[in-house]
Structure formats: C-alpha cells, structure tokens
Structure 1
Amino acid sequence: MIDLKQKILAAVDDDLKAIEKALAENLNPYFDLVAQVAGHILFAGGKRLRPLLMVLGARLCGYAGNHAARFSTIFEYLHAATLLHDDLVDGAVMRRGRQVANRVWDNSTAVLTGDFLLARGLSIAADTGLCAVIQTIAQITENMSQGEIRQLEKRGDTTLTEDEYLDLIRCKTAILFQGACRTGALLAGAGIAKVQSLTDYGNHLGLAFQMADDLLDYTQDLASLGKHAGADLREGKLTLPMIHALSRATPTDRSRMSALLGKPDFTCAEFVALTEMLVRHGGIAYTQAQAAVHIRMAKQKLQVFSDSPTRDILMDIADYALVRKA
C-alpha cells in the first residue's frame, strides 16, 4: 500500500504542485478572513484527489491547453465547501487532524466561507466557456445539497436500506468524483464515448472511495484518520458496514447495535463491542467486497482508452482507493 501511494505521488508530483499553486492564487484577491477560513480547510493536508482526477482525465483525452490546474480547483473548492457545512451540521470537533473551522471562528463565518467557495467554483466553471462544464458543476452542487438533506432526514434511522445508502453516497461523494472526471474529458473536447467512460469511472471510484471511508470510521484512530473513530456512529449516520450487519444480526445484537447509533457518549468498550459485532455479522467484509466490485468496474471503464502512463495512474488510483488507510 505504501509503495503504491509513493508510486502515484511520484507520478503526479508536478500536477499536485500546480494544483496547490492554483488553489492559493485563486484565493489571494479576496478578503483576508475568507482566505484564512478557506485556507484552514483547504491547506490542512487534503489529498487533492478530485482536482487531480480532472487534470488526469483531461490529459487522458488529449487536452492541450494551459488551464487544467486552474479549472481543477473547482473540485477542491466544492469539496472544501461541503466539509465546512458538514462539520457544522454534524457538530464535528476535528477535521484533518485540527479543530473544525466553526470552532476556530464561528458558525456564521464558516457557513459564509463555504458559500463563497461554492460560488468561486461556479465562477471558475464559467471561465471555461463550456456550457456542458457549467451544467456539470451546477448538477454537482444540487446533488450534494440533496444528499446532505437526505442524510439529515435519515439520521438515526435503522431502517435505512442499502439502496438508499447508495443513493446518499452518490449524491454526497461519487457525484464530485464523477464530475471531476467528466469535466476533464469535456475540456479536452473528447467524444461522447470517452466522456461517458470517464464519467462512469469517476462514479464507481467515488462509490468505492466512500465505502472505504466508511470502513475507516470503524478501524482507524485520530492520528491516522484526522477525526475521531466512530464519528459517523456518534452522528447517527448509518453506513454500509452497519446496514449489512443489522440485516444479519440476531435480535439481541441488533438491539445492542441500534442502541449505540447516535449515542454521542458511547464508551471505548462499547465501540469495540460494536466493531466486533460488525465483523461477526459480516458488515466489514461485505463493505470491503462491494468496494472491490466498484473498483473493478471503474478500471473496466478505462479500457476504452489506449494504454498510456496517464491511464496507468488512474488504474493505480483506483487500486489505492481500496487499500488506503486514511
């Protein structure tokens, strides 16, 4: 896993540097407070995966322009905006190993900075001059908002089905991966088949990425994850490991698991016991298997493209999404 990560980072080092520079440059003209709050989440160690996918997608489709890094910032700004809003809605304490923005400043400042980042993303999308890109970004913002509302509505609901969960993570996570890949193809002027293939790659990658993230909530500690393990549980969020385990658990275990959902003050011993039940009733293994299915499907979608170093990187990113530890 470490070797794969280092291989990817070495291959995209120049791209990541260009993305980092563009992220900072596109904040510089604005109010100091906006730059500070946005920078608190933007420059706290994020992986830049979403903008990187756009850059790589554009290159895979033959983009010859000089603006890929700047246009890719759309996806990091949108992602950061959702994190600022999510942390407030969820009552989170930590994000990427540091205090959430609304605790460093205040709720109003965090919300308005999130709004600014959404608007900034839409403004940069307009600069592409491509209606299809603008439409893609507008659909992303709409879907992400709907996903958050649905998740809030379903908080603590132990009847949430796997299909409903998949709809939620499509709106919350996969839509941004999908949109980044699609925008790269659109910038390059790719044909319909290649645009759709990259769109599908991003969708499956995003679904697998979120499933892997849901697993980390039960398996990683603060130092690795950047937030407290069990955060989803404390917030009453049902994710696939819990959904599947609940469907297979004995009545006694189901009752014990349900009782912990949304309990913010569960003990370490209770969390360990819950994790053991998730393992015993197949929730962890099933989620790993489903994530692997989506990774295979994502990689299959790249077969329409000729073999190239860029395609190889996208294949490696898909593999890494499955085995990452943070």
Structure 2
Amino acid sequence: MTKGMKQRIIEQAAPDLEKIEIALEHHLNPNVELVRQIASHLLFSGGKRLRPLLMVHSARLCGYNNDFEIEFSIIFEYLHAATLLHDDVVDEADIRRGKKAAHTKWSAPKVVLTGDFLMALSLDIAAKTREPDIISVIAKITRDMSQGEIDQLSKKGKLNLSEEEYRKIIERKTAVLIQGTCQSGAILAKAPKEKETALSQYGFHLGMAFQMADDLLDYTASAKELGKNPGADLREGKLTLPLIHSLSNASQKDKEWMQDAIAATLFNPDQFKKLKEKLYTYKGIEYTKDRARDHVKKAKACLNDFDDCQSKQLLCLIADYSIERKV
C-alpha cells in the first residue's frame, strides 16, 4: 500500500519533480566549488522533494499558475538540506539517506558553513518573490528551527521529558518548516487570509504527523529501509513519543529498566531489541500511530473548503503517505 501511495505521488507530480530538480541544480552556483560538492552530496542523494511539491501545489490550490512557483519552491529544499547538514554535525550522525554523512567526508566547519550558504541562498531566492510576508515566514522558520534544536539539546537525556515538551520540540524542529512551506504557497498566490490560514494549519498538522512517523520508524524500520542505523534517537539521548508514553505507563520495575537502557553509555543491540518489545507492551508504538493519524485527519480537514482539483488530491495523498510510509 505504501509503495503504491509513493508511486502515485511520483506519477502525479512527475513533471513538477523534473522541473524542481533542474531548478535545484541551476541555482546551486556558489563561487567555491567545494561548497557545491558538499551541498550536492546531500541535496542529490535521494530526497523526495516533498517540501517543494507542497509549496507548488499550495500555490496552485489558491489559483496560482505562473510557472514561478517551481523556482520559488526550491527555497524550502535548500532550507531543509541546510538543517540536515547542521543536525548531522550536532548529532554526530554517521549516515544520512544511506550515504556517509557529509561531516564524515569533510570537516565539520566546512559542512556547517555550507549549511549557512544554503540558508542564505534560500533567502536570496525568497527576496525575488518581492513578497515581504514570505521573507518573514522564512525568518520565522530559521528562528524557530534553531530554537527547537537548542531546546532538544538542552533536554538530551532527560528521562522525565513530558509529551508537551516533546510536542513543542517537534513543532519547532519539523512542523514549522512544512507549515511555512504551505503558507508561502498561499502568500505567493495572494490568497485570501482564510485560505492562507487553512494551508498553514494543513502544513502544521502534516509536519507533526511526519515527525511522529519518523520517530516511530526509528524503532520499527530496518537500517536498509531508514538509510541510517535504527535506534539513532536512543543513541543520541533523545526521548520521543513512543518512549515517553511507554515510560509513563510502565510498571516501576520496567520503567527503571527502560531508564537504565536509555541512559546506557554503550548501545547494546540486544538491549535495544528488548526495549522495542516494551514499546509494544506499553502501547508506545500504538499511541504514537494514533496521534499521527489524528494530525493527518486534521490536516486533510483543513482542505475541506477548497475546490476539488489535482493539487488538492495530491496534498491529501501526501498527508496519507506521511504516516503510511516505510521510509
């Protein structure tokens, strides 16, 4: 089912995806060749381009179709790539999208500065929209995502992290980018405020669902499916919703064992396997799936007042795909 859903998105969006790829290549023109190499290592390593698609079809859903939506949509792929480059350095991740993380091939300072370049490039393209509101949205995205990462770092290893604290972290880390992507499409189309708000809320709920699904995959998918080693969140001391819910419902004995497993200095595959079993026993997996599905339901409801069209169908399909995907 998931593979079919992904294939349907690719087939429906094929012409746009081809143009997005061309635009990403065309605008990546730094003065220093090393910057291109580092940026390309991540940018062209198999990303799904969902963020550009979301902006393109949010704009079209509001009646925009001037061809410029493709060029402006890559703002959000550059921003996304910049945050991934920075995150992998901060998290000391080894693998990204099935390849060695950039900072394992080049020095961390070079990778961080390349991420900075991509952020600046996204702002440069945003300025060409001549829409101050879009520039404001991007400024908010970069501000909130930075704070989200700092908040997560400050709470690293916190064994009593609450669900509310978790939600605030993922709102800033993930949802704000997808929310801003969809909102910017509406702004570009000069849509009425109520449509801009609806698409902004669609993006918020979609982003929350995406991150919850990602947090699930860290415990339910294989290394081959993930393109990185499973259990990365646990190794990095990050408590996500499957763990938070399970800890709050576990017996005292199991809770203490789980806390010891989380706090362990060395990653133990057998211990990780046992921990995953606890997440099923105490319904952390099931609860997270339910919360993600609820966000998808709310996201699709935000599109109710829009006329039916190909763009609306695609946005609904992406919402369903966000939680049904395996990778």
Give 2:280's aligned residue: 279
Give 2:164's aligned residue: 163
Give 2:240's aligned residue: 239
TM alignment of 1:280-299, pairs within 5 A: 280-299=281-300
Asked if structure 2 preserves the Cα contact closer than 8 Å seen for 1:235 and 1:262, the reply is no
Give 1:149's aligned residue: 150
TM alignment of 1:21-36, pairs within 5 A: 21-36=22-37
Q: CA deviation at 1:179?
A: 0.5
Q: Once superposed, what is the RMSD of the aligned Cα atoms?
A: 0.9
Asked if structure 2 preserves the Cα contact closer than 8 Å seen for 1:205 and 1:298, the reply is yes
Give 2:125's aligned residue: 124
Give 2:92's aligned residue: 91
Give 2:78's aligned residue: 77
Give 1:307's aligned residue: 308
The answer for unaligned runs of 5 or more in structure 1 is none
Name the CA shift for 1:182/1:262 in 2 (closer, same or farther; >3 Å). farther
Q: CA deviation at 1:262?
A: 4.9
Asked if structure 2 preserves the Cα contact closer than 8 Å seen for 1:236 and 1:263, the reply is no
Matched residues in 1 for 2:51 and 2:265: separation?
Answer: 31
Q: CA deviation at 1:266?
A: 2.0
Give 2:231's aligned residue: 230
Asked if structure 2 preserves the Cα contact closer than 8 Å seen for 1:96 and 1:226, the reply is yes
Q: CA deviation at 1:265?
A: 2.5
C-alpha offsets along residues 82-129 of structure 1, whole Å, 9 cap, x if unaligned?
111111111110000011101101111101001111111111111110
Give the stretch that moved more between structures: 199-208 or 261-270.
Answer: 261-270
Give 1:181's aligned residue: 182
C-alpha offsets along residues 188-244 of structure 1, whole Å, 9 cap, x if unaligned?
110001000000000000000000000000011111101100000000001000000
Give 2:173's aligned residue: 172
Amino acid at match of 2:55: M
Amino acid at match of 1:298: A
Give the stretch that moved more between structures: 221-230 or 261-270.
Answer: 261-270
Name the CA shift for 1:32/1:18 in 2 (closer, same or farther; >3 Å). same
Matched residues in 2 for 1:167 and 1:69: separation?
Answer: 31
Give 2:110's aligned residue: 109
Give 1:201's aligned residue: 202
C-alpha offsets along residues 153-209 of structure 1, whole Å, 9 cap, x if unaligned?
000001111111111001000001100000001001100010000000000000000
Runs of 4+ in 1 over 3 A off after TM superposition: none
Matched residues in 2 for 1:264 and 1:229: separation?
Answer: 17
C-alpha offsets along residues 60-88 of structure 1, whole Å, 9 cap, x if unaligned?
11113221111111111111111111111
Matched residues in 1 for 2:36 and 2:129: separation?
Answer: 23
Asked if structure 2 preserves the Cα contact closer than 8 Å seen for 1:80 and 1:114, the reply is yes
Q: Is structure 2 residue 37 aligned with structure 1 residue 46? A: no
The answer for unaligned runs of 5 or more in structure 2 is none
**Could you say what secondary structure the match of 2:74 adopts?**
helix
Give 1:5's aligned residue: 6
C-alpha offsets along residues 240-274 of structure 1, whole Å, 9 cap, x if unaligned?
00000000011111111112225453221111100
Amino acid at match of 2:85: L
Asked if structure 2 preserves the Cα contact closer than 8 Å seen for 1:174 and 1:204, the reply is yes
TM alignment of 1:247-262, pairs within 5 A: 247-262=248-263
Q: Is structure 2 residue 61 aligned with structure 1 residue 60? A: yes
Asked if structure 2 preserves the Cα contact closer than 8 Å seen for 1:237 and 1:262, the reply is no
Tell me the TM-score normalised to structure 2 length.
0.98
Asked if structure 2 preserves the Cα contact closer than 8 Å seen for 1:279 and 1:285, the reply is yes
Asked if structure 2 preserves the Cα contact closer than 8 Å seen for 1:233 and 1:263, the reply is no
Identity among equivalent positions (%) equals 52
Tell me the TM-score normalised to structure 1 length.
0.98
C-alpha offsets along residues 11-46 of structure 1, whole Å, 9 cap, x if unaligned?
000111111111111113532111100011111111
Q: Is structure 2 residue 220 aligned with structure 1 residue 214? A: no
Give the stretch that moved more between structures: 253-262 or 59-68.
Answer: 253-262
Give the stretch that moved more between structures: 12-21 or 27-36.
Answer: 27-36
